[in-house]
C-alpha cells in the first residue's frame, strides 16, 4: 500500500485546495469525475453561461418594449454547446494535466471507498490500488436525487448532470421539481424554444425562498411554463422520446424529455465511511465541527458531502479554512455560516441572504419590513421593469438587518452590499444614510428599501 502525507478525495474544490504551500508534502489526489467537479462541468458555470444565453434570447424577443424592432431567429444550440463546453472541457483537461505534471501530487483516477482508518481502495481502469495517508480531506461532492418512480421505470430521463449536453433542444420537456435547479434549467430551455411543463409538489415554486419572492416568481413564470403545482408524479410510461407521465390527480403529460430536478444527495453512500469511523447525519451528510474535522482523527470534510450549505462559494471558503488548518494545526480557523448569500439565475433573477419573513415569524423575531420596487427608481424606468423589487427585514430595536431578498435584473449583484451590512452588523439606517448611492443606478432600489425601515430617513423620488 502506498502511503502519503495528505490525500484529497475529490477534484472539484478539493483540487483548488492544494497549492504550492503543500509542496513540501507527498500529496495524493483521488478523482472519479472530471477535474473542476460539479461547478465547472455540470453545475454553476455551464448553467450560468446558458442562462446568460437565454437572457439574451429573451431580451431580443422583448425588444419592442424599448422601441427596438428586432426579431429572434432562434438559438443555435450546437453553437452554444461548442462555445460553452468547448471552453469548459478544455479547462477540465488542463486542470488534470497540470496536476499530473506536479512534482508533489500523485493523481489516482477512479472510484474510491474506505477500507479502514485513513485507508482507501481506488478502483482504476487498470485494476485496484490501496492507498493511505496521515491526513485525508473528503470533498467527494454529491449527485442528483432521482425518485424511485422515475428510476424504476426503465425509461430515459435527464438530470442537471446530463441535460445541458443534449445534442438537440427538446420540443416538449417536463421538469420534475420546483427548486433553483429546476427554475434555472426551465428558463434555459424555454428560451431555446422548448415547451416546458413544471411539476412541483409544493403550491409555489422556490418555496424555500422568502414568501413574497416565491409568490411573485410563481406568478411571473406562469406565462412561460405550464405549472402543475401541488402535484406528484406517480407513473412514467411510454417509450424513449414519447413519454407519458401520470400525476396524482390522474392527469397525463406527454413529453419527449423528462428532466429530474428534485434535489441532490451527497455521495457519502458510495464511500463506506463507517469503515473509517466517519459519521453522517440522517441525510447522509458528513458531520463536521467548526474546524471542519470529522469524527475520525485526521480526516476533514467539506463541500456538498458535508453538513453545510451546498453552495460553491461556501465550499471555497471551507477549502480555505481546511487548507489553513492542515498547514497551521496549532492556530486553527473555524467556519462560520452566519451570513450566507445565494442566488437563482432564472428569469427573473433572485438573490437572498439571511432570514426569510416566514422564518422571522417562526423564530418570534420583532422585525420590520422595508421594500422598494424597481419601477420606483429611475433605472427601473430605464429597464421598463414592473416586476422586480427589493425586500429587507430588520430588527425593530437595533435596526440591524436580519435578511434581504431581491427579485429582478442584477439581483445577485444588488444583494452584495446587504451581505456586507449583515456581516459587519450594520443598521439599515447607517447603510442607507452614510454612503453615497449613485443616481440613477439600480442600487437605489436597495437604498430605498433600507430607508423604508428607517422612517426618519426620507426615500428619494426616482426623479431626484
DSSP 8-state secondary structure symbol assigned to residue 117: T
Residue with cell 430605498: 448
Which pLDDT score is estimated for 310?
Answer: 96
Mind listing the pLDDT tens digit for each residue in 225-279? 999 999 999 999 999 999 999 999 999 999 999 999 999 999 999 999 999 999 9
Could you tell me which residue, 461 or 153, shows the higher pLDDT?
153
Instruction: Tell me the DSSP string of 408-422.
Output: STTHHHHTHHHHHHH
Mind listing the pLDDT tens digit for each residue in 391-431? 999 999 999 999 999 999 999 999 999 999 999 999 999 99
Which pLDDT score is estimated for 454?
Answer: 81
Domains of the chain: 2-144+265-327 (3.50.50.60), 148-262 (3.50.50.60), 348-451 (3.30.390.30)
Mind listing the pLDDT tens digit for each residue in 166-224? 999 999 999 999 999 999 999 999 999 999 999 999 999 999 999 999 999 999 999 99
196 forms bridges with which residues in the sheet? 173
Residue of 464, 414, 417 whose CA lies nearest to 439 = 464
Beta strand pairing status for 299-301 and 127-138?
Answer: parallel
Compute CA distances 308 → 67, 273, 283, 335, whole Å: 47, 18, 12, 10
DSSP 8-state secondary structure symbol assigned to residue 65: G
Confidence of residue 455 (pLDDT cuts 50, 70, 90): low
The helix (H) or strand (E) run that includes residue 44 is helix 44-61
Mind listing the pLDDT tens digit for each residue in 123-164? 998 899 999 999 999 999 999 999 999 999 999 999 999 999
Annotated active-site residue 66? The verdict is: no
Confidence of residue 463 (pLDDT cuts 50, 70, 90): low
Residue of 203, 254, 191, 219 whose CA lies nearest to 54 = 191
Which pLDDT score is estimated for 258?
Answer: 98
Which pLDDT score is estimated for 72?
Answer: 84
The alpha helices in 363-443, defined as continuous H runs, are 378-383, 411-414, 416-423, 428-433
Which pLDDT score is estimated for 91?
Answer: 98
Compute CA distances 177 → 43, 49, 104, 292, whole Å: 16, 22, 44, 31
Which pLDDT score is estimated for 326?
Answer: 98
307 CB-near residues (< 8 Å, 6+ apart): 281, 283, 285, 286, 287, 288
Which pLDDT score is estimated for 461?
Answer: 76
Has residue 457 got a pLDDT over 70?
A: no
> How large is the average pLDDT for residues 287-313?
98
Burial code of 401-419, b = ≥16 C-beta within 10 A, e = fewer?
bbbbbbbbbbbbebbebbb
Mind listing the pLDDT tens digit for each residue in 41-85? 999 999 999 999 999 999 999 999 999 999 888 999 999 999 999
Residue of 452, 354, 353, 348 whose CA lies nearest to 410 = 348
Q: E-strand spans in 181-280?
A: 195-200, 226-229, 233-239, 242-247, 252-255, 257-260, 264-266
3-state secondary structure (DSSP) of residue 9: strand
> How large is the average pLDDT for residues 79-96?
97
Out of 223-237, 296-310, 447-461, pick the least confident: 447-461
> How large is the average pLDDT for residues 77-106?
97
Amino acid at each position: 500500500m502506498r502511503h502519503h502525507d495528505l490525500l484529497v478525495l475529490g477534484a472539484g474544490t478539493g483540487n483548488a485546495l492544494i497549492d504550492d504551500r503543500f509542496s513540501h508534502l507527498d500529496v495524493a489526489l483521488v478523482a472519479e469525475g472530471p477535474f473542476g467537479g460539479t461547478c465547472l462541468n455540470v453545475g454553476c458555470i455551464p448553467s450560468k453561461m446558458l442562462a446568460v444565453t437565454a437572457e439574451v434570447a429573451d431580451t431580443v424577443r422583448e425588444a419592442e418594449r424599448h422601441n427596438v424592432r428586432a426579431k429572434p431567429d432562434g438559438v443555435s444550440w450546437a453553437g452554444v454547446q461548442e462555445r460553452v463546453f468547448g471552453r469548459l472541457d478544455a479547462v477540465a483537461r488542463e486542470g488534470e494535466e497540470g496536476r499530473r505534471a506536479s512534482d508533489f501530487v500523485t493523481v489516482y483516477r477512479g472510484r474510491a471507498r474506505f477500507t479502514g482508518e485513513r485507508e482507501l481502495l481506488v478502483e482504476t481502469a487498470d485494476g485496484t490500488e490501496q492507498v493511505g495517508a496521515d491526513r485525508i480531506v473528503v470533498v467527494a461532492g454529491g449527485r442528483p436525487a432521482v425518485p424511485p418512480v422515475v428510476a424504476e421505470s426503465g425509461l430515459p430521463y435527464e438530470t442537471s448532470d446530463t441535460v445541458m449536453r443534449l445534442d438537440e433542444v427538446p420540443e416538449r420537456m417536463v421538469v420534475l421539481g420546483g427548486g433553483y435547479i429546476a427554475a434555472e434549467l426551465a428558463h434555459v430551455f424555454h428560451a431555446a424554444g422548448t415547451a416546458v411543463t413544471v411539476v412541483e409538489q409544493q403550491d409555489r415554486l422556490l418555496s424555500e425562498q422568502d414568501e413574497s419572492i416565491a409568490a411573485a416568481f410563481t406568478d411571473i413564470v406562469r406565462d412561460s411554463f405550464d405549472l402543475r403545482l401541488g402535484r406528484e408524479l406517480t407513473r412514467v410510461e411510454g417509450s424513449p422520446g414519447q413519454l407519458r407521465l401520470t400525476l396524482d390527480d390522474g392527469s397525463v403529460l406527454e413529453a419527449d424529455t423528462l428532466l429530474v430536478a428534485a434535489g441532490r444527495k451527497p455521495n457519502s453512500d458510495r464511500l463506506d465511511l463507517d469503515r473509517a469511523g466517519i459519521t453522517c447525519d440522517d441525510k447522509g451528510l458528513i458531520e463536521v465541527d467548526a474546524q471542519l474535522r470529522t469524527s475520525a482523527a485526521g480526516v476533514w470534510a467539506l463541500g456538498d458531502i458535508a453538513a453545510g450549505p451546498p453552495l460553491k462559494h461556501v465550499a471555497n471558503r471551507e477549502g480555505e479554512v481546511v487548507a489553513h488548518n492542515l498547514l497551521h494545526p496549532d492556530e486553527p480557523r473555524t467556519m462560520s455560516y452566519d451570513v450566507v448569500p445565494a442566488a437563482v439565475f432564472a428569469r427573473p433573477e433572485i438573490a437572498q441572504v439571511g432570514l426569510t419573513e416566514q422564518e422571522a415569524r417562526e423564530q418570534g423575531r420583532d422585525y420590520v419590513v422595508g421594500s422598494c420596487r424597481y419601477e420606483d427608481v429611475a433605472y427601473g424606468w430605464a429597464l421598463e421593469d414592473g416586476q422586480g423589487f427589493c425586500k429587507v427585514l430588520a430588527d425593530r430595536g437595533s435596526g440591524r438587518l436580519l435578511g434581504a431578498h431581491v427579485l429582478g435584473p442584477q439581483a445577485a449583484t444588488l444583494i452584495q452590499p446587504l451581505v456586507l451590512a449583515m456581516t459587519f452588523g450594520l443598521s439599515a439606517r447607517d447603510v442607507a444614510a452614510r454612503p453615497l448611492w449613485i443616481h440613477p443606478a439600480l442600487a437605489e432600489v436597495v437604498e430605498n428599501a433600507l430607508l423604508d425601515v428607517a422612517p426618519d430617513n426620507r426615500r428619494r423620488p426616482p426623479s431626484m
